[in-house]
Amino acid sequence: MCELDIAQPSSAAYPQVMRTVQGRRFGRLSCGLAALALGLGAGCAGGQTGDLSGQNGGPGDGTGEGTVNGGGGCEEHKQKLGSFDDMTDAGSAEQLLGYAEGSFDSPITWRAPGQGQAWSVGPESGQGQLHVEVTRGESAYLLTYTQPQQSGSGETTAIGTLCPPTQLGVEAHVSISTEGGALAESYDLLLRSVVPGVATLRVPLDPAKVSGSLEIGSSNPRAKLVQLSLDATLMAEGISGRIAGLEQIDYGSGASGVSSASGAVLAVWPDSAACKALWPDGGGLGLPIGAEALGVSGEDTLASLVPASPAPIRWLGGEQTTLTVSFDGAGDGCFRVSELPVEIGGGPTVSYPVTIGLKSADGKLDGSYAGTVVASGSGNSRRIAASASLQLAVEDVADSGFTSVTVPEGIDGLLLRFDSTLQAGSVASSVKLLGLTNPPCLTEPPPPPTPTPDGGSSAPGCSGQTQTPLESAAW
C-alpha cells in the first residue's frame, strides 16, 4: 500500500530562508514512489553514518583507504584525499565547504499523518523554526561503489544491484535543533556530493536515542514507523530536508502474517509551495526561475530546449512544414535530491512549471500546453526533459491545438503528448495526438465464468486501451 501522487505545478509565495556562511549572513526569499523511492534510497544511497545520541560519534571509517558496506549490499570504497583542494568530478572539499559550512535557518513544518495512518509526532506541531550549524572535519574522501559479489559453483559473480555514483565525501560536525526543542542533535558524519554545488547528508533516526524531546506515537498497536531518517540538502541558496520513513502495519503472525507499508513524512523544511505542487511531501527548495541550480539558471535551462530557428517537421501524412517552439516559465522551480538511483532519474534535480507553445507554419497546429521541465546532472552529464499531456473528449478536439484533424468513428477520447529531451548536446522532440479506444470489457458487465476441466472456472481477461495515432511530428 505505497502510493505516490504528483500534482500539477503552480506558482506561489515561499517562506524566507536565512543562512550565515563564514561570518556573512544572507537573506533569501525563495519565490522559493513511496516504498520504491524510500527503499531504493535507503538501499543504494551509501547512507550516512553518525551518532544518533548526540554524543558525537565517529563517521565510520575515518581515515585512509578502506571498504565499508554502502547500504543495500553495495560496497563503498573510501580513498582519502591528500588535501581539501584536491579536485573531483563534484569539485573539491574546500569548494563544498564554501557553501555548506556555516549556519542555516529555515522554517520547519511538522506534518500530520495521512488518511488511514496512525502515527503521531510531538511535542511540536505546525510550523516552527530549524537551525543547522555545519563545521568542517579533518578529512575528505573519494567515494566509489561496486556491486556485491556472490560466490557459487566455484565462480564469483556480481549481484545486480544499482549502486550510487562516485561521490565526494567530506567529514563534518553538524548540529540540528528546533525552536520548540523536538530536535537538539549533534552528528559527526560525511557530507556527500555527486555534482558541484550540492551537498547532502542522511542520518538514521531512532526516536529512543534523540537528544531532543521528539516523541513519536501511534494509535494502532499493529503499526510502527520503520526506516526513519533525517535528510538534508545544502546549497549556497539555502537548506532543504525532511524527516521521513515508512509506516508498517502487521497483520497476523508467523508464516501467515503479512505487512503493508505507506510513506510517512513527519517534518519538512522549508515547505516550499513550488515543491508541494510537484511532490506531495513538499520536500525541496523553491527557487526563482532566474536563480542558478546545478550551475544553470532556469531561464537558460528553458532556452536550451528552443530550436535556434523553426524546426523542419513532417506530419503523419507526409506533408512538410516548420514548427516554432517556445517555453515560458509558469512559476518558480523546485530543487530537490531524488532518492531514486541516478540510473533511473535520481540524484539532484530541478523542476520548473512551464507553458509550451507549438505553432506550425502551415497553420495545422497552434496550441499552448501546461507542462514541466526537469533538469538533472551537470556538465557533460546534464539532462533536460520537458513533457506535457492533455486528455480531451472527442468533441473538444479543437482544444488540442490541431485545426484540421478528423477523428474516426469508434474513438472514445483523445490524448495529446509532448516530449523533448536534451542530452549530450542533442535535442529530440515530438508531439502526438492519439485517439483512445476503450475495450468493451471496461464499459460492459463481464461475462459469467467458464467452467474448466479441472472443476474450476475462468473468466476472460480485459485487453488494454487502444491508441490510434491521429497526427504526429518529430524534430
322/192 same-domain check: no
The residue segments making up the domain with residue 404 are 297-330+346-448+461-474
The answer to whether 335 and 284 have CB atoms below 8 angstroms apart is yes
Identify which of 79, 84, 230 has the alpha carbon closest to the alpha carbon of residue 166.
79
CA dihedral 145, 151, 154, 156 (to 10 degrees): -20
Query: What is the predicted pLDDT for the residue at 38?
Result: 36
**212 domain-assigned:** yes
Tell whether 69 and 134 lie within a shared domain: yes
Check whether residue 195 and residue 326 sit in a common domain.
Answer: no
C-alpha distances (whole Å) from 390 to each of 393, 396, 415, 450 are: 10, 11, 6, 40
443: confidence class by pLDDT, cuts 50, 70, 90: low
User: 236-248 pLDDT, tens per residue?
Assistant: 889 999 999 999 9
pLDDT in tens, 337-359: 876 666 666 688 999 999 999 99
Please check whether residues 168 and 33 belong to one and the same domain: yes
d(CA 94, CA 70): 24
Q: How confident is the model at residue 45 (pLDDT cuts 50, 70, 90)?
A: very low
pLDDT tens readout for residues 25-38? 333 323 323 333 33
Same domain, residue pair 147 and 248: yes
Q: Is residue 210 part of a domain?
A: yes
CA 62 centroid distance within chain: 30
Residues 6 or more apart whose Cβ sits within 8 Å of residue 57:
50, 51, 187, 188
What whole-number distance in Å separates Cα of residue 175 and Cα of residue 412?
A: 58
Q: Which residues contact 126 (CB under 8 A, 6 or more apart)?
A: 109, 110
pLDDT of residue 225: 94
Residue whose C-alpha cell reads 511540536 in the numeric block: 124
The answer on 366 and 246 residing in a single domain is no
* Confidence label for 440 from pLDDT (cuts 50, 70 and 90): confident
Q: Which of these three, 222, 256, 271, is where a domain ends?
A: 271
Query: Minimum mean pLDDT among 87-91, 254-258, 412-416: which range?
Result: 254-258
Query: Is residue 351 assigned to a domain?
Result: yes
Same domain (yes/no): 252, 362: no
Total tally of structural domains belonging to the chain: 2
CA 325 → CA 79, 310, 314, 317, 321, distances in Å? 47, 7, 15, 21, 13
Answer yes or no: is 1 within a domain: no
The answer to whether residues 243 and 318 belong to one domain is no
Q: 225 and 313: one domain? A: no
Are 154 and 120 in a shared domain?
yes
d(CA 453, CA 317): 51
Write the pLDDT tens digit of every residue in 356-384.
999 999 999 999 999 999 998 877 788 99
Task: Specify the pTM.
Answer: 0.71
Listed range (130-139, 290-299, 308-317, 322-331) with the worst mean pLDDT: 290-299
pLDDT at 19: 43
**Could you give phi then psi for residue 145, rounded to 5 degrees?**
-135, 145
Q: Is 181 part of a structural domain of the chain?
A: yes
- Note whether residue 160 is domain-resident: yes
Identify whether residues 126 and 214 lie together within a single domain: yes
